[in-house]
Amino acid sequence: MSYSGLVFENRFLHALPADEIVQNYGRQVHGALYSMVSPTPVSAPSTIIVSDELAEQIGFSSEFCRSQQFASVFAGNALLPGMSPYASRYGGHQFGHWAGQLGDGRAINLGEVALSSGGHLTLQLKGAGPTPYSRGADGRAVLRSSIREFLCSEAMHHLGVPTTRALSLVLSGDTVVRDMFYNGNAQEEPGAIVCRTAPSFTRFGHFQLCAFKGEKELLQRLLDYTLEADFPHLQAMLLQGGYTRQEVYLQWFDEVCRRTIDMIVEWMRVGFVHGVMNTDNMSILGLTMDYGPYGWVDNYDPDWTPNTTDAEMRRYRFGQQSAVAQWNLWQLANALLPVLHEAAPLEKILRDSAVYYEEQWRVMLARKLGLNAFDDAVDEGLISGLNRVLQLHEIDMTIFYRMLASFNPYQAEARLADVILPAFYRPEELAEEVIAEINAWGALYAERLCRDGMSPEQRCAQMNAVNPKYVLRNYMAQQVIDQAHMGDYSLLHELYALLRNPYDEQPGLTHHAEKRPDWARHKAGCSMLSCSS
């Protein structure tokens, strides 16, 4: 079985200090960035699904992925040579409030693989048992949340959104008790473990906790390690001379800001709502991570959040994500002050990053609308009109943009409302004045497209390359979960294959591109979700 060529370098462990206490019990950890801890074995591990392309990238053969040894390793029952499991320590702001020490409460890093193609990937089990950071919880995950994490990680990757990825989903054979709605009705659910991967799982919260605890030397060590491991081009600037350490640190922060903003722009492009944008869920690499109560916007609503915990404040709603990202970056900047000393350069980077978001948002919108470029002189009005049109009547965001690509501006008497009619959730309720306003905006849009001069065929191809036909709607994920609880994983495999090509038409599978069915409007798991896992 092929895995013998794997090299685990585990640079995080070699470069940074470990917790001196080796016993696995909940505690506050001081002066360290991780605790050594082994996964807790499960009774009957069995592999449900593996990302073949990711396995190949790591160096696992298909034979090994089908083996019982693979299931044992990625359920936490065994280790491969070179693996050295640990849980990392970090803190964070949760829903705008400082939460203190958090850490990998149900995630255990198995090790960091040096890829033959270059670079590194850390393999991390989610749901592999308690760690010193579990805060009294069991460290386990249930099948429903694990399915959602596996599918969404891979769906986001193939959409072109920066993300952690999922290698495998393994059933534990054990049950886990969870109160899905936090209403006192806890139930036993099937347990499962996802192996997720990333070049690094370093979070804003790693830096925040060091700063909060006054561990200035540890903060500096973490920053220097991050440059070396995750930003080697910036480390090279330092080694080559001509730049001070402070200048390189600032360059690093600027890049973290831009990567974060690039990620948010991609979320907005595809209609994704993270749902839990706490600072401990923010990657310094600008990767989408920690897939909890996420969702895709069905009917366009900037105020929608998929998180029941956030239902009242809607802090993490769709239209607020860029502002929250900026707020989170300010918290990271505050954490860097003990090392950088001066606030003014950080504040300038933050101001510039807000401008950068607006610039990138315009570039993204131009691509979605099939424009050569965003023209500030005329397109501000076009976009404000579009935002109004999208909220005049309940309309599916994904289907709207996909159908907009077929709108022909050169066609005499072109009526936009006719083209996008299938995107409306209740087309029979469309009032005449709403139809008139949609068509009026369509006329402005047609005029703008004609001024660009792009052929309808070229524009359609451009738009269909950035506006997906298939996204992982909540009701689709819930259908997979319902079947999986019956022991049927066929729909899981079908959707996994479908979502690897989200921009293609895929004849025979177009039923997965339809609007959210009415029965799913308020069904548990199909509209909003809790943080329960």
How many angstroms separate the CA atoms of 237 and 234, rounded?
Answer: 5
Half-sphere exposure of 146 (CA within 13 A, CB side): 31
- Residue at 500: amino acid letter: R
Q: Which residues of 126-154 are buried (b: 16+ CB within 10 A; e: fewer)?
A: bbbbbbbbbeeebbbbbbbbbbbbbbbbb
Integer Cα distance of 90 and 279 in angstroms: 10
Cα gap 105→99, rounded to integer Å: 14
Q: Is the dihedral of CA 427, 430, 436, 438 positive or negative?
A: negative
CA 311 to centroid of chain Cα atoms: 20
Pairing of strands 46-50, 165-178: antiparallel
Q: Which residues are catalytic?
A: 280
Tokens representing 138?
A: 């069991």
Give the separation between CA 327 and CA 279, rounded to whole angstroms. Answer: 9
C-alpha distances in Å from residue 331, one per residue of 61, 203, 204, 262: 43, 12, 8, 18
DSSP 3-state of 310: helix
Considering only CA atoms, which of 145, 140, 150, 135 is closest in space to residue 172? 140
Residues in Cβ contact with 39 at an 8 Å cutoff, skipping those fewer than 6 apart: 75, 76, 77, 85, 108, 125, 128, 129
The answer to whether the CB of 34 falls within 8 A of the CB of 210 is: no
| Closest by CA position to 256, among listed 224, 226, 277 | 226
Residue 356 CB contacts under 8 Å (≥ 6 apart), including other chains: 257, 258, 261
Q: Which token pair is 468?
A: 């997906």
